[in-house]
Amino acid sequence: MLAYLLRRLLLVIPTLLGILLINFVIVQAAPGGPVEQAIAKAKGLDTRGNPVSGGAAGDMTSGGNSQGKESPYRGAQGLDPELIKDLERQYGFDKPPAERFWLMLSSYARFDFGQSFFRDKSVIGLIVEKMPVSISLGLWSTLLVYLVSIPMGIRKAIHHGSRFDIATSTLIIVGYAIPGFLFAILLIVLFAGGSYWQWFPMQGLVSDNFQTLSPIGKALDYAHHLVLPTLCMTIGGFATLTILTKNAFLDEIHKQYVVTARAKGLNDTQVLYGHVFRNAMLIIIAGFPSALLSIFFTGSFLIEVIFNLDGLGLLSFQSAINRDYPVIFGTLFIFTLLGLILRIISDLIYTWIDPRIDFESRG
């Protein structure tokens, strides 16, 4: 097992390099980079070319349009070439792409992710600042999905074809068909003062007077704010995990070793939790790392917007729109590394649950 883990850890390096290289090429080729955005602001335009108030184009133009036409940036006509060079140096575009990529890798090897182009904060500082929202949504959503879906899936497998099985299947299919953001709007209309009852707050992770509350009051206030966004985050996850659990247990229940165990006099509970459970849970554990990472870091953008929660999902979206390259690549590196490590951890959990599994013996 040690040799297998060492191979997996060594594979992390080329995997990270490949992912970063592909995304670097794609992002660099996309128009509207930070230099072009700075040029647009200098000319008194927004990033779509529309006029904005306070434009200072007149103070920054010189040399006529002939200089601007030689620039590789859109909208640079009429601007002083020295200003363009200053912008390139400011954002690191005075170096060729290969050198920029190498410098980025060198910094990431030291876990130095640099500063945001537009927020005047370090990438790590931004992630730490936004992390509480994403951890809150991801942690409680994951716990709720697993605590409900696994017991429900087991019961559906035991009572396959019963009224309970049919009724719950109908409910989870309907839940899966409803987008999380649409469910969020429905909950706000019904329970957050939209048109009917105001049982829950509509925005934020805590109340304005949170710091003045007692410890119990803070916990209750925090839970009160999380009810609606957590429900929206979990509405689609119930269906996937419940059906996966049911099918895994159904497949194991009909195997020969279950018949043998019952023939030896074991009751249904002993067979289920002494034999079936260990084997059926393996496929569920296999999908846990990717599910955890997606719920924590990528699945909450629309929910964050609707409930005014400033988390990692919103940060990633805004960084992509603004071409904030240090944040884009810094978060990509961190989340990819976490995902790869979580997959290795899932292999360790595999062997802990079922010692018969030996990854090292695979060709």
* Model confidence at 124: pLDDT above 70: yes
- Rounded average pLDDT over 111-136: 85
pLDDT at residue 61, as a whole number:
45
Span between the terminal Cα atoms of the chain, in Å: 13
Of the candidates 237, 226, 208, 212, the residue with the CA atom closest to the CA atom of residue 135: 226
Q: Looking at the domain 124-361, which fold is it?
A: MetI-like fold (1.10.3720)
- Rounded average pLDDT over 109-121: 85
pLDDT at residue 65, as a whole number:
42
* Model confidence at 99: pLDDT above 70: yes
**pLDDT band at residue 143 using 50, 70 and 90 as cut-offs:** confident
The domain limits of the chain are 2-95, 124-361
Structure tokens at 21: 């290289």
pLDDT, averaged across the chain: 77
Tell me the percentage of the chain whose pLDDT exceeds 70: 77
Contact of 271 with 261, CB cutoff 8 Å: yes
How far apart (Å, rounded) are the C-alpha atoms in residues 179 and 175? 8
Please report where in the chains the tokens 């719950």 appear, as a residue.
168
Cβ neighbours for 320, distance < 8 A, ≥ 6 positions apart: 328
- Rounded average pLDDT over 195-200: 78
pLDDT in tens, 245-303: 888 888 888 888 888 888 888 787 878 877 788 777 777 776 666 666 666 655 567 78
How far apart (Å, rounded) are the C-alpha atoms in residues 330 and 350? 31
pLDDT in tens, 152-177: 988 898 888 899 999 998 988 888 88
How far apart (Å, rounded) are the C-alpha atoms in residues 248 and 281? 7
How far apart (Å, rounded) are the C-alpha atoms in residues 328 and 269? 50
**SS3 assignment, position 61:** strand
Structure tokens at 344: 């290795």
- When mean pLDDT is compared over 27-31, 77-81, 106-110, 279-283, the highest value belongs to 106-110
> What amino acid occupies position 336?
T
Contact of 279 with 190, CB cutoff 8 Å: no
pLDDT at residue 53, as a whole number:
45
pLDDT in tens, 324-355: 888 888 888 888 888 888 778 777 777 776 66
**pLDDT band at residue 44 using 50, 70 and 90 as cut-offs:** low
CA atoms within 13 A on the CB side of 179: 7
- Rounded average pLDDT over 298-320: 77
How far apart (Å, rounded) are the C-alpha atoms in residues 238 and 231? 10
- Which 8-state DSSP code applies to residue 1? -
Please report where in the chains the tokens 């049982």 appear, as a residue.
199
Cα angle at 308 between 215 and 316, to 5 degrees? 110
